[in-house]
A = this chain, B = another copy of it.
Amino acid sequence: MPKKVDHEARRQEISEALWRLASARGLEGASLRDVAAEAGISLGRLQHYFRSKDEMLLFALRHINRLAGDRIRERIEALPGEPTPREVLRACLSGMLPLDERSRVGVLVGAAYFTRAAYDETLRAEAKNGIPQLRTLFADQLRRAAERGELPPERATEDEAMLLIGMVDGLSTYVLLDVYDGRTALRMLDGHLARLFEVNGAAAGAPVAGGG
């Protein structure tokens, strides 16, 4: 077996061990030794991949962000016909909520990473990296909706985009604390979208009225 394949297989094993630990009790309290034990390899071997806990957390975060990106893309591609901007936004928001076990772990790893990033400039740079892109993506959808007459033009702003991102993040926190479940969070976000997309008192760009 070529060496590259070994390497990739090992990374995959470690990645799955990380995931199991994150599901069970979080990565914040987990040491490199714990991860090595969970992956069934020596600490020295693991340190070949991650020299520090921050490196490990960064790897886990990138892995999870990639999965989250895939999940959102899949949701958008699963929309029938040519989706309206509102449908695209809803697909993104629901992809960001902890609606199942995998997205739940994703939110938890993100939170563990955040509590470290707040004190560490290098980690922070990575953590905040994706936000402006996400804000631009959301703002683009809002502008597209305004052009189609489905959103009052004054609401097609970067601020509205950022409010949406903040909202889904904040609601996700309370889902993980069992204040309410993911479905309820999605219903609340739908309520916000409905009000955002109200044009002269009437709904616009909603799934029922939508399509290509």
Instruction: Report which A residues bind B (CB closer than 8 A).
Output: 24-26, 28-29, 108, 111-112, 114-119, 124, 127-128, 131-132, 155, 157, 159-160, 162-163, 165-171, 173-174, 176-180, 185, 187-188, 191-192, 195
Contacts and interface: CB of A to CB of B under 8 A. Distances in A.
A158 to B, nearest CB: 9
Contacts of A112: 115
Main SS of chain A's interface residues?
Answer: helix
Nearest to A157: B191
Contact of A131 (B132, B162, B179, B185): B179
Nearest to A185: B166
B187 A119 contact: no
Contacts of A162: 171, 174, 180, 188
Contacts of A185: 166
A75 B109 CA distance: 35
Given A159-B191, A163-B188, A191-B163, A177 B117 contact: yes
